[in-house]
Chains A and B, each alone.
Chain A
Amino acid sequence: MSKAVSDTPGQRPGPAAAGGAGLGRELTCALIGLAILAAIPLLSPSRLVMDFVIRLAAFGVFATSLNILIGYGGMVSFGHSMFFGAGAYVFGLLMQKAGTSIPVAILGAVVFCAAMALVVGAICVRLKEIYFAFLTLAFQMLTYSVILSWMSMTGGDQGLMGGIPRPVFLGIDLARVEVLYWFACAMGIGCLLLMRMILQSPFGYTLRMVRDNADRARFLGIDVWRVKLQAFILAGAFASIGGVIMALFVSGAYPEFSYWTMSGEAVFMIMMGGLHVFIGPLVGAGLLLMFNDVVTRTTELHGIALGIIVLIFALGFKRGITDFVVQRWRQLRKA
């Protein structure tokens, strides 16, 4: 068994710290988050801010789902965008070709990605860290090439064209931007809350134990392979919801959703935000989205700019922003 992912200090909230207030604290946080998001359109009705929040919901869910694997499971996946892309495509295709209602299409996308994660995970999760990273990457490139070459179904490199219909369901009309904003916020916060609850459950702590010491977990009678596979399926299913929000936002799906750079960005979002704090990936997603917006506006050389930032974080700071904040906070409290 490979050594568990080395932890930076400042980890381990521990069941006592996290479970003290129980579910109440998480719910309060979620409600405060929703209230802030609700206030945003009232304060500034600009389209730009709303678009940003919708994209943040998509990428926040996507990055946090990947952190189930990287931060909590110690499994560094470099192919997570296969589920992001597959979720977007399955959702779009169900809406376009099968004409289902939106909730059914979302469910379809989640079920499809969970099944896909079951197959890919069954092959991958047994492997050593580095193998796991590369193999997930390889499967993601397979997904990408299937999307590219299955022209009749996916539209190839043009992406899913013609727009995704958004029929009204339960009185919700997603064709209106404000409604889509609300919907994305609710989905995003709902998913984050759900993931938080799963990670604070006994399953979440089993996963942490498997990460820290798989041998010990095995001695205690835990089926390590099964726990890892379950985490992989959960991560895949949540990533698909990120893809669905993105597909709703751009009213389409593009092969780039499943390209390796998307996985790379998600990995970096986690690292930049901090992988030892639950909302770290969300913070990272927000920062990277802002960074991308600024960079694409000012320079053509997006790759060089992003690459340098990645190097600064990976070789310079060596930890994410929330890790840094948490560490400082603890030092202050001690002093």
Chain B
Amino acid sequence: MNPNELIECVTSLSCIVTQTSTGLIIGALLFLVATGLTLIFGVLGVVNFAHGSLYMLGAYTAMSAYHTTGSFLLAALFAGLAVGLFSLVFERFFMRRVYDADVLMQLLVCYAFILILDDVVKLIWGAEFRSMGMPEAFQAPPLFIGGGIIPVFYMYLIAASAVIAFGLWFLLTRTRVGKIVRAAAHNPTMTSALGLNTRMIYAGVFACGGVLAGLAGALAAPVRSMSPGMGFSILIESFIVTVIGGMGSVSGALVGALLIGLVRSFGSIGFPLFVEGMMFIAMALILILKPSGLLGGPEQRT
């Protein structure tokens, strides 16, 4: 615990800028993963425990794609598409069979996939830590704002996430597709009675969550080291994010992700050993005081 250093940090502009930018990229990546998780839960009513593995798959495929094509943009798009396709298969042949089964079966299917995907990654890319390295396009000198240092890639990452967040918001609230998805989330029986194919909607939402996780993995590839267990830690964090923001709420995921990102980056200065604990305490407090989350609807508790 060094609360003094934290006070020192929040009183100096340079430290605030640096830590805020770090917090924002953590938050941006978390948002992309958590929003997929929350979307799938909101519409399908299942929690995809294997969502972290999709993120991992995205990071690794982006690395390979980057090494072959040399273009980060192509690599990110490829990773998003590949993971989206994979989640389509996962939904179609595995998850769909357990929608109506109890939680135990859903849990076991996801558990099996986490194990299998971790091993597949080990098999293809090796068990040791890998890193992709910063793509050349982003190897510009960092920006100095108020004495704080912000790597150029951070700006791109934050911008890309903001664009995706806006796109998602627009899609869900301002288009016909969004209306259909919200209808399916609200009342699937009625939606299908109106002649809409809920199976297709489910598959689409699952794939969309997969694309988001794959993109998050690709965006994380230059700044994070990769290992076969990387999916699981982000799964836990995104779950905390969705609980804080409200399960099923995309805007809640954004708020929760930014909150957790900032807690992580500033917490690592003030109380490095206690950062994890802080996140859990925040989650427990939310669950006790407002179980539906900060921006969630009512009725989350039994």
CB pair A271–B280 under 8 Å, yes or no, is no
* Assembly CA distance A130 to B111 (angstroms): 14
B288: interface (CB < 8 Å)? yes
B102: interface (CB < 8 Å)? yes
Which A residues touch B287, using CB under 8 A? 123, 127, 135
* Known pairs A5-B102, A123-B287, A301-B123; A313 contacts B273 (CB<8 A): no
CB pair A314–B116 under 8 Å, yes or no, is no
Interface size class of B (residues with CB under 8 A): 35 or more
CB pair A310–B108 under 8 Å, yes or no, is yes
CB pair B107–A76 under 8 Å, yes or no, is yes
Which B residues touch A318, using CB under 8 A? 101, 105
* Known pairs A126-B301, A130-B47, A149-B273; A307 contacts B119 (CB<8 A): yes
* Known pairs A70-B104, A76-B104, A260-B232; A2 contacts B111 (CB<8 A): no
* Assembly CA distance A93 to B123 (angstroms): 38
CB pair B102–A138 under 8 Å, yes or no, is no
Beta-carbon contacts under 8 Å, B247-302 to A: 247, 273, 276-277, 280, 283-284, 287-288, 291, 300-302
B74: interface (CB < 8 Å)? no
A308: interface (CB < 8 Å)? yes
Closest residue of chain B to A312 (Cβ to Cβ) is B112
B125: interface (CB < 8 Å)? no
CB pair A267–B104 under 8 Å, yes or no, is yes
CB pair B103–A264 under 8 Å, yes or no, is no
Beta-carbon contacts under 8 Å, A278-335 to B: 301-304, 306-308, 310-311, 313-315, 318
Q: How far is the CB of B232 from chain A (nearest CB, A)?
A: 7
* Known pairs A128-B302, A138-B283, A307-B112; A267 contacts B107 (CB<8 A): yes
CB pair A271–B47 under 8 Å, yes or no, is no
CB pair A139–B108 under 8 Å, yes or no, is no
A181: interface (CB < 8 Å)? no
Q: How far is the CB of A298 from chain B (nearest CB, A)?
A: 14
CB pair A133–B103 under 8 Å, yes or no, is yes
Which B residues touch A183, using CB under 8 A? none
CB pair B123–A314 under 8 Å, yes or no, is no
Contact of A308 among B108, B112, B239 (CB under 8 A): B112
Closest residue of chain B to A145 (Cβ to Cβ) is B276
CB pair A126–B112 under 8 Å, yes or no, is no
Which B residues touch A6, using CB under 8 A? 101-102
* Known pairs A127-B287, A139-B280, A304-B120; A264 contacts B111 (CB<8 A): yes
Contact of A127 among B120, B122, B291 (CB under 8 A): B291
* Known pairs A130-B46, A130-B103, A138-B239; A311 contacts B302 (CB<8 A): no
Return the CB mask of A236-273 against B: 1 if under 8 Å, else 0: 00000000000000000000000011001001100100
* Assembly CA distance A264 to B122 (angstroms): 20
* Known pairs A6-B102, A123-B284; A304 contacts B277 (CB<8 A): no
CB pair B111–A267 under 8 Å, yes or no, is yes
* Known pairs A6-B102, A134-B239; A303 contacts B276 (CB<8 A): no
CB pair B118–A76 under 8 Å, yes or no, is no
* Assembly CA distance A138 to B244 (angstroms): 13
Q: How far is the CB of B120 from chain A (nearest CB, A)?
A: 7
Closest residue of chain A to B118 (Cβ to Cβ) is A303
* Known pairs A137-B236, A141-B236; A308 contacts B276 (CB<8 A): no
Beta-carbon contacts under 8 Å, B24-65 to A: 41, 46-47, 49
Interface of B with A (CB < 8 Å)? 41, 46-47, 49, 94, 97-98, 101-105, 107-109, 111-116, 118-120, 122-123, 232-233, 236, 239-240, 243, 247, 273, 276-277, 280, 283-284, 287-288, 291, 300-302
Interface of A with B (CB < 8 Å)? 1-2, 5-6, 70, 76, 78, 123, 126-131, 133-135, 137-139, 141-142, 145-146, 149, 214, 260-261, 264, 267-268, 271, 275, 301-304, 306-308, 310-311, 313-315, 318
Q: Please, could you name 21 A-B residue pairs with CB atoms under 8 Å apart, sorted by A?
A: A5-B104, A6-B101, A76-B104, A78-B49, A128-B300, A128-B301, A129-B103, A130-B41, A130-B103, A131-B243, A131-B247, A134-B49, A135-B287, A139-B280, A142-B276, A267-B107, A268-B108, A271-B105, A303-B116, A308-B116, A314-B108
Query: Which 8 residue pairs of A and B lie closest in terms of their CB atoms, listed nearest first?
Result: A303-B119, A307-B116, A310-B112, A303-B115, A307-B115, A307-B112, A314-B108, A304-B119
